Amino acid sequence: MSPRQRVRWSVRSGAAAVEFACLLPILAVLLLGLWEFGRLIWVQQSVSTAAREGARHAAAGESPAEIARHVRMCLQRDGLDTTGLPDPDIANLTSAARNDPRTGQQLDRYRVRVTLPLAKNRWIHFSYLADSLTGESVFACTADVPVSQPSEDIPQ
């Protein structure tokens, strides 16, 4: 290798390091943004799953306290912080007079809405457009139709 080629190579040796130093902050922001966005989608899916679990228990005729307990357990199983979690909103879409799932009639439609505050459930503290994530699910009540038995004695 001639001395002229050796000098030309040593002048260009720092160019890659400078280019990497310029691109590193941009790549880091993109990587962290993708990571946080993936976390946000995962938390939204967990909230939707918890709402579905709550609606399933509402359709089975459980009490609102039991439904809230199942929703919290579902979120905690996914590793989410449930402190400050409001009780799920349970509504009978068929008849507003029967909002308590224990009084539901067969095929009443119950909607369970779960709202999870984002403040303690994100890794990187970006500011979002919303302070919480909401998931909701609708199930039909599975209560049995009451069977009436005649009052007179049945002959043997």
| 111-136 pLDDT, tens digit each | 999 999 887 776 666 666 678 889 99
In angstroms, the CA 17 to CA 147 distance is 81
pLDDT at 67: 94
Q: Please, what are the domains in the chain?
A: 17-140 (3.30.1300)
Model confidence pLDDT, tens digit, residues 3-42: 555 555 556 678 888 888 999 999 999 998 888 888 888 9
Work out the pLDDT band at 149, boundaries 50, 70, 90.
low
Q: Indicate the pTM of the whole model.
A: 0.74
Is the backbone of residue 84 left (phi > 0), alpha (psi -120 to 50) or beta? left
Model confidence pLDDT, tens digit, residues 28-38: 999 988 888 88
- A 10 A CB-CB count for 111 gives 18
Question: What does the pLDDT average to over 143-155?
Answer: 66
